[in-house]
A and B are shown apart, each in its own frame.
Chain A
Amino acid sequence: MPAHGVTSDGAAVVINETNLGFLTQLAGWARFSEVADAALRAQSLSLSENFRVTVRRGMVTAWRIAPDRVLIRSDVKLSLESSDDLAVLDLSEARVCLTLEGAGAAGLLSRVIALDFSEAAFPVGTFAQTALHHVGVLVDRPGRDQFTILIPTTWTTSLIGLLTDHLARAA
């Protein structure tokens, strides 16, 4: 890492593992929207109504991953406490952060993920939870040729291997 290469179409990609920082899941029940929104506002963020739009402010990113759950990536540990209306869970160790950059990044992902990576279907600033080679991952698109993928830690070696195998065969 980083792994440089091209897809079989000749488009360049760089795969890199980057520091995830802290990852916190907030989950709740009937009052989730209200309680989670309040918690996020303390981080100058708000709770998105939309399950595809990434909310980002500075070094903090929030993804609404389910009606009653939000996942927050931050560079410092969030000081949040569980209550009867909010369950706080540290997942910082449970995911590894991979970045894919370059003109071939979307093309490479199209080879391993069954999603439409055109800008119309997957605009910059959105994310998706999907399967990468049967493993559930979160794909975020901070830039046109830039993707961030959160991979469950124990699958990382295998999935990076699959991605770099594509680059190796196309070299």
Chain B
Amino acid sequence: MLRIHCPVCGLRDETEFTYGGDATMRRPDMTESDPKAWVDYVFIRDNPRGPHKEYWHHVTGCRQWLIVKRDTLTHEISGSYLAREVADLADEVAA
């Protein structure tokens, strides 16, 4: 089991959250009509071994979506942020 820090609620058991997938993906703009952009966003994933950024949803807590920096190899969590407060998702998650 993981313990995940929620910026609103504090450190909580993983069981309070649901996993929301790769947070390094940036959703294309609503007006984007190129299928390739959408295929990349929906289907193409790197599946890195090591540091990664993931969405986690604090469903039984404050219902905020978080971006969690997690090492997929060691499960070490090095940071978590409210997705809404990450100024520009693409820039922030690239860091």
Chain A residues packing against B (C-beta within 8 Å): 51-52, 65-67, 114, 128-131, 134-137
Q: Is the CB of B60 within 8 A of A67?
A: no
Q: How far is the CB of B66 from chain A (nearest CB, A)?
A: 12
Q: Is the CB of A130 within 8 A of B82?
A: no
Q: B63 — which chain A residues lie within 8 A by C-beta?
A: 66, 136
User: Is the pair A128, B60 in contact by a Cβ cutoff of 8 Å?
Assistant: no
Nearest B residue to A137 by beta-carbon distance? B60
CA gap between A137 and B63 in the complex, in Å: 12
Is A51's CB under 8 angstroms from B62's CB?
A: yes
Report the bound CA distance from A137 to B13 in whole Å.
15
Chain B interface residue count: which class?
Answer: 10 to 19
B39-95 interface (Cβ within 8 A of A):
59-64, 82, 84-85
8 A-B pairs in the complex with CB atoms less than 8 angstroms apart:
A51-B9, A114-B16, A128-B9, A129-B9, A129-B60, A131-B16, A134-B60, A136-B63
User: Does B8 contact A130, Cβ atoms closer than 8 Å?
Assistant: no
A137: min CB distance to chain B, Å: 8
Number of A-B contacts (CB under 8 A): 43
Tell me whether A114 and B61 are in contact in the complex, defined as CB-CB below 8 angstroms, given that A67-B82, A67-B84 are known contacts.
no
> Taking the nearest CB of chain B, how far is it from the CB of A82, in angstroms?
20
What distance in Å separates the Cβ of A166 from its nearest Cβ neighbour in chain B?
19
Docked Cα-Cα span, A118 to B38, in Å, equals 49
- The answer to whether residues A130 and B15 also contact, given A51-B9, A52-B10, A66-B8 and a CB cut-off of 8 A, is no
Taking a contact as CB atoms under 8 Å apart, the answer to whether B84 and A130 are in contact is no
Cα–Cα distance between A114 and B60 once the two chains are bound (Å)? 12
Question: How near does chain B come to A148, taking the closest CB pair, in angstroms?
Answer: 17
User: Is B27 among interface residues, defined by CB-CB distance under 8 A?
Assistant: no
Bound together, the chains give a CA A131 to CA B62 distance in angstroms of 11
Residues of chain A with a CB closer than 8 A to B10's CB: 52, 128
- Which of chain B's residues have a CB closer than 8 A to the CB of A51? 8-9, 62
Q: What's the minimum C-beta distance from A60 to chain B, rounded to whole angstroms?
A: 21
Tell me the nearest residue of chain B to A51, going by C-beta: B8
Give bound CA distance, A67 to B59, whole Å: 15
A137 to B85 alpha-carbon distance, docked (Å): 25
Give the distance in Å from the alpha carbon of A128 to the alpha carbon of B16 in the complex: 12
Chain A residues with Cβ under 8 A from B62's Cβ?
51, 65-66, 129
CA distance A115 to B8 in the complex (A): 15
